[in-house]
Structure 1
Amino acid sequence: MSAARSGTSRKIILWRHGQTAWNLERRFQGSTDIELTGTGVAQARRAARLLASLQPAAIVSSDLRRAAATAAELAAITGLPVEHDADLRETYAGEWQGLTHEEILAKYGEQYAAWKRGEPVRRGGGELETEVADRAAPVVLRHAARLGESGTLVVVSHGGTIRTTIGRLLGLQPHDWEGLGGLSNCCWSVLGEGARGWRLLEHNAGTLPVPVLGDDD
């Protein structure tokens, strides 16, 4: 039965962690466990106040410190527990991890170019983007299913993992996932359950969603 006919109104908010020192240095973090900067903590606190007003029913987070600390700010306001799951970690990128953008281009230029063309690439000998989606998307769907017919789930994760998860939930081909664009620190995307599955309602947002008033709603 479709969401429209069954009356379901579930939403998923996919929230990227706050700023880290490696973000500022443009270093590829991947699964390296980097903590938030002071600015990152402030970003998380500001965003948490906004997201709390949406009355989330559950919070699940990557277990890496930058995501867990971001999730903790929302938990402190809402009183909700946070479930941590390693399958929501950022893409493991092997030898790319810890390198700056310029160093990656200098050492792995062809690999980088192939990745940007949408080819399946194990960056630095690490995971394929489809493998990231294979581990992360089921976690999100499992927690969303626990909401019942309504409710909002907040998923705290990482830019690459969020993009691939959104692509998978929307049924896009992996080659098209890059078209979703990236997420700024502590910004989020919102998926809503529609008649034909999940729909992207907001992307890279830093303010509260507003109703869509148009013929395509």
Structure 2
Amino acid sequence: MERRFQGTTDIELTGTGVAQARRSARLLAALRPHVIVSSDLQRARATAAELASVTGLPVTSHPELRETYAGQWQGLTHDEIAERFGDQYAAWKRGEPVRRGGGELETEVADRAAPVVLANAEKLPDGGTLVVVSHGGTIRTTIGRLLDLEPHSWEALGGLTNCCWSVLGEGARGWRLLEHNAGTLPEPVLGDDD
């Protein structure tokens, strides 16, 4: 395991990633989704395409659902980042607002992604299901924003294992997190924010 920080680097799914996407598609199809939206990065689009092939639904891609742009950190391992950007890396790990490698703040990611989720959720029929295919950091920040959590506490949500999901629902007082990192038995989280 390299623990490479991908960010917005547009890479293809590996063979393992394709198998994970197919497995999750079969499980998510049971939720009877009404709408599928995806990041426009190819790894997310390929994952969404697996669900589309099972459900027959179209996928709409949105650049706003991309992973966090991490500037000079992208393509580096966590060890390389810690070595080259030690103070910045340590501040990020402490939960301070940091433009990782000159990239985006987590709040900026939520500012661009959450409105896409909300706009698509508003179009659903009552009881409808929206599937959002995105990336770990973007998903965590968007959930934090939808739950109205303070940005410094978004890290408490933890990461997502590849091709797992979170389930949110609207309650009397707003959005609620019903499940997180669902879809498998507990596995190590492999991603940019582990």
Q: Is 2:24 the partner of 1:71? A: no
1:95 aligns with 2:49: no
Q: Which residue of 1 aligns with 2:24?
A: 47
2:174 aligned with 1:187: no
**Per-residue CA distance 1:140-184 (angstroms, 9 max, x = gap):** 000000003220000000000000000000000000000000001
Structure 1: runs of 5+ lacking an equivalent: 1-23, 209-217
Partners of 1:27 and 1:101 within 8 A in 2: yes
Runs of 5+ in structure 2 lacking a partner? 186-194
Q: Which amino acid aligns with 1:150?
A: G
| 1:61 aligned onto 2:61 | no
Residue 147, structure 1, aligned to residue 147, structure 2? no
Matched positions, count = 185
The alpha carbon displacement at 1:206 in A equals 1.0
TM-score of the aligned structures, taking structure 2 as reference length: 0.93
Decide which structure has the larger Cα Rg and report it. Answer: 1
Runs of 4+ in 1 over 2 A off after TM superposition: none
2:162 aligned partner, one-letter code:
N
Q: What is residue 58 of structure 2 aligned with on the other side?
A: 81
Q: CA deviation at 1:127?
A: 0.3
Q: CA deviation at 1:72?
A: 0.1
The two structures have a TM-score, normalised by structure 1, of 0.84
Aligned to 1:177: 154
Post-superposition CA distance 1:3-62 (Å, at most 9, x none)? xxxxxxxxxxxxxxxxxxxxx421110001011000100100011000001100000000
Q: Which amino acid aligns with 2:151?
A: P
The yes-or-no answer on 1:204 pairing with 2:181 is: yes
Partner residue, 1:121: 98
Deviations 1:95-128 (A, max 9, x none): 0000011100101111111112121100000000
The answer to whether the aligner puts 1:134 opposite 2:111 as a matched pair is yes
Structure 2 residue identity aligned to 1:144: A
Are 1:63 and 1:85, in contact at CA under 8 Å, matched by a contact in 2? Answer: yes
Instruction: Measure the CA separation in 2 of the matches of 1:118 and 1:39.
Output: 31
Contact 1:50–1:207 (8 Å) recurs in 2: no
Percent identity, aligned pairs only, is: 81
Distance 1:92 1:176 in 2: 20
Shift of 1:207: 4.8
SS at match of 2:128: strand
Alpha-carbon distance, 1:136 to partner: 0.1
Determine the C-alpha separation between the residues in 2 that align with 1:204 and 1:34. Answer: 23
Aligned equivalent of 1:112? 89
Aligned amino acid, residue 192 of structure 1: G
Report the Cα distance in structure 1 between the residues aligned to 2:184 and 2:168, rounded to whole angstroms. Answer: 15
